Amino acid sequence: MSNKIIWITGGSSGIGFATAKYYLKNNWIVVISSSNNEKLAKAIKKLKNEDNSENIYKFKCDITNINEVKKTVSLIENNIGNINTALLNAAAYSPNKNQEFDIKNYELLIDVNLKGTLYCIDALKDVMKHRDNTIAIVSSPIGYRGWPTSGAYGMTKAAQLNLAESLFFDFKKIGISIKVINPGFIDTEATRLNSFKMPFLKSAEFAAENIYKGLVFKKKFEIYFPFSIVFFVKILRILPYKIYFYLWKKIGNF
């Protein structure tokens, strides 16, 4: 049987890069893409050095550019093979330390995290139809509920989560399985921008292992890890507003 193919958007660093490494070790054909050619070239060099693998490919693909996304999907499908799993992981992140409302930040995060994800799904839906393939969207537990200082990022992650839930039903009809991945705090370039202490911080390798095992061996819609922190956030999600707002006031005088 020929090797399966995964396309990982945002595969040049962090969770995407570590997941690419994990899939390669497990004999998948891995295609990584991102918007920055230099970062991509460095990432592919590292992956080839570590794994000495011919099963790794890269494409420059800025997900905010619908034509680049369409071109990437058709290049993979025509030149490498059918995409079995698409990990829609690419995202922009910019912490808002001062609780300021910055419209430019909102626009950027909507363009990358939301419109970019939608462009990928749009390009994938026709080629993946009735092939029993998987589209996995990397969202975040921050999307469960509005947190202080994370209006822009949290809003895009909440929208991704809602989108995944909705498409779960609609895409089942066309034979595409939709999954959502909700990691807790993972040590990456993105979270190194945070100025607060991140509880239960885990490595990108930990995230990669959980993503692989969740997508390959389990049939669940949501893959989340580590259990302790994400389960705690799940409880916050169901609290009445009065208690939820009171807790934030106690935690950080918000």
Residues that bind ligand NAP (CB under 6 A): 9-10, 12-16, 34-36, 39, 62-64, 89-93, 112, 116, 138, 140, 183, 185-186, 188-191
Give CA–CA dist 233/238, Å, rounded. Answer: 9
Give CA–CA dist 67/23, Å, rounded. Answer: 27
Give CA–CA dist 254/247, Å, rounded. Answer: 9
CB of 142 to ligand NAP, least distance (A): 7
Task: Pick between residue 3 and residue 232 the one whose CB is nearest to ligand NAP.
Answer: 232
Task: Pick between residue 14 and residue 214 the one whose CB is nearest to ligand NAP.
Answer: 14
The identity of residue 163, as a single letter, is L
The residue whose Cβ lies closest to ligand NAP is 14
User: Helix or strand or coil: residue 224?
Assistant: strand
CB of 253 to ligand NAP, least distance (A): 24
* Helix H or strand E encompassing 125: helix 117-128
CB of 66 to ligand NAP, least distance (A): 12
Give CA–CA dist 34/23, Å, rounded. Answer: 17
Work out the number of other CB atoms within 10 angstroms of the CB of residue 30.
29
Task: Pick between residue 85 and residue 140 the one whose CB is nearest to ligand NAP.
Answer: 140
CB of 163 to ligand NAP, least distance (A): 13
Task: Pick between residue 133 and residue 140 the one whose CB is nearest to ligand NAP.
Answer: 140
